[in-house]
């Protein structure tokens, strides 16, 4: 499946000029609020008719203004999970879930009702009305409703933005399961770096109505020149790791990545679980020689590959990119420290990261779903 977009559209004084092409999996449309992400998905869904351009999903031309093609929204077979859920208040959860299915032709009913209800853990809510659901429950029902319509593409517009951290943590595993079971390609809109780092296989970085970069999540996130757009405060590197060992005596878990061993506070994950570790640039220290007596448990050797000063060559902050045996690490230092250490590309260096900086929020993995995730995956 490919999604190809090449559109120009004017909304008041805002000019949208977006062109990109993506493969399957979970594609994140990432950018600040007001950068035009939601307008792009609204154009894909057919809620906005673009002034110019084309939208093609999986070989089906949805919009081609030059040829006068505009498929109306109800014939696009594109599921949409809105930020505010938009469940029908006069229907029960069951009726909401079956709404789109009613309109789907038999050949398009790819999803069974029971598997979707199980996947999202909403079996106990079926006879309730949306007014009585929590925010997290509403979003799970909204995801189910969109899935059961048998979409060829699922759009999710900041589905977690209106939820608190606990509710977010409740929904993440369901979206990860959806992604990993590869049921339907997903376009996921977000302005939160943590969500994108955790969920996306591909990132489309949107800034001021234009596409600033497209690529694999790690490639885009590790580009120092894009830090101003991706969000400097939370920016960092993403490392694919595997759970190697639990240290019961000290309550630690050891992960292994190409860079080496990572120790962090105990995780309730089976040995062998793959996950993504996000290491924020501001949590990384650098040392020229391997330090001895030090509290930091994670000391990773690497080579400086790139340096970029934030705010030009005279700025106070410099970001340094390291190659640690194939893993990328990014450190944020003051320019003063950089000059004191005499850092330069090609230099051997040691990166130091406190274990407690690697908290659960920065982790994601396919098997972090709720109990029963694996059993369910085996059934399908």
Partner 1 sequence: MDWMTLSPEEWTAVRLSLKVATVATLVGLPFGIGVALALARGRFWGQSLLNGLVLLPLILPPVVTGYILLIVFGQRGPVGRWLADYFGIVFSFRWTGAALACGIMGFPLMVRAIRLAIESVDARLEEAAGTLGANRTWVFATVTLPLIVPGILTGMILCFAKAMGEFGATITFVSNIPGETQTLPSAIYTFTQVPGGDQGALRLTLVSVAISMLALLASEVMARLAHRRLEIE
Residues within the interface to partner 1 (CB under 8 A): 45-47, 72-80, 82, 84, 86, 88-90, 99-100, 102-104, 129-132, 145-146, 149
Contact between residue 186 and residue 195 where contact means Cβ atoms under 8 Å apart: no
Judged by beta carbon, residue 110 or residue 210, the one nearer partner 1 is: 110
CB of 366 to partner 1, least distance (A): 28
Least distance to partner 1, CB of residue 149, Å: 5
Judged by beta carbon, residue 154 or residue 224, the one nearer partner 1 is: 154
Q: Give CA–CA dist 121/115, Å, rounded.
A: 10
Name the residue nearer to partner 1 (CB basis): 145 or 332. Answer: 145
Report the nearest approach of partner 1 to the CB of residue 46 (Å).
8
Name, in order, each residue with C-beta under 8 angstroms of 331's C-beta and a sequence gap of 6 or more. 281, 284, 285, 286, 319, 320, 322, 351
Tell me the sheet residues that pair with 327: 324
Nearer to partner 1, 98 or 226 (CB): 98
Query: Edge to edge, what strands does the sheet with 186-190 contain?
Result: 69-70, 60-64, 52-57, 3-11, 14-22, 210-216, 202-207, 26-30, 186-190, 153-157, 78-81
- Token pair, residue 336, equals 């003063």
CB 161 within 8 A of CB 81: no
Q: Least distance (Å) from partner 1 to the CB of residue 82?
A: 6
For every residue of 295-348, DSSP letters joined together read S--EEEEEEEEEEEETTSTTSSEEEEEEEETTEEEEEEEEHHHHHHHT--TT-E
Cα dihedral 336, 340, 345, 349 in deg (nearest 10): -120
C-beta of 88: minimal distance to partner 1 in Å?
6
| Distance from C-alpha of 69 to C-alpha of 61, rounded to nearest angstrom | 8
**The tokens of 195 are what?**
């969500």
Q: How far is the CB of 95 from partner 1 (least distance, A)?
A: 10
Residue closer to partner 1 by CB (options 71, 317) is 71
Give whichever of 68 and 72 is closer to partner 1, judged by the CB atom: 72
Q: How far is the CB of 295 from partner 1 (least distance, A)?
A: 49
75 versus 266: smaller Cβ distance to partner 1: 75
């Amino acid at each position: 499946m490919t999604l190809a977009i090449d559109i120009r559209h004017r909304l008041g004084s805002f000019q949208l000029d977006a062109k990109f092409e993506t493969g399957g999996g979970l594609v994140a449309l990432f950018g600040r609020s007001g950068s035009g992400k939601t307008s792009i998905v609204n154009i894909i869904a057919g809620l906005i008719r673009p002034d110019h351009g084309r939208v093609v999903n999986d070989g089906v031309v949805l919009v081609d203004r030059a040829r006068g093609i505009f498929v109306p929204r109800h014939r696009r077979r594109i599921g949409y999970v809105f930020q505010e859920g938009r469940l029908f208040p006069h229907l029960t959860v069951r009726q909401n879930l079956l709404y789109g299915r009613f309109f789907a032709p038999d050949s398009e009913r790819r999803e069974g009702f029971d598997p979707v209800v199980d996947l999202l853990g909403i079996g106990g809510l079926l006879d309730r009305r949306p007014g009585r659901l929590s925010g997290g429950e509403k979003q799970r029902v909204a995801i189910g409703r969109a899935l059961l319509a048998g979409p060829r593409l699922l759009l999710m517009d900041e589905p977690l933005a209106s939820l608190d951290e606990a509710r977010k943590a409740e929904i993440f595993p369901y979206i990860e399961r959806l992604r990993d079971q590869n049921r339907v390609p997903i376009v996921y809109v977000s302005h939160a770096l943590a969500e994108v780092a955790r969920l996306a296989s591909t990132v489309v970085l949107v800034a001021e109505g234009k596409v600033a970069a497209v690529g694999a999540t790690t490639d885009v996130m590790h580009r120092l020149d894009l830090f101003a757009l991706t969000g400097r405060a939370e920016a960092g590197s993403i490392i694919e790791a595997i759970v190697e060992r639990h240290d019961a005596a000290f309550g630690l878990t050891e992960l292994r990545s190409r860079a080496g061993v990572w120790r962090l506070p105990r995780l309730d994950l089976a040995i062998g679980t793959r996950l993504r570790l996000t290491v924020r640039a501001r949590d990384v220290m650098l040392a020229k020689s391997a330090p001895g007596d030090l509290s930091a448990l994670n000391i990773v050797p690497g080579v400086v590959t790139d340096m970029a000063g934030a705010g030009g060559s005279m700025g106070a902050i410099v970001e340094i990119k390291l190659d640690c045996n194939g893993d990328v690490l990014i450190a944020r230092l003051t320019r003063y420290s950089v000059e004191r250490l005499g850092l330069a590309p090609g230099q051997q260096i040691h990166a130091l990261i406190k274990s407690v900086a690697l908290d659960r929020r920065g982790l994601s993995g396919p098997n972090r779903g709720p109990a029963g995730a694996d059993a369910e995956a085996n059934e399908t």
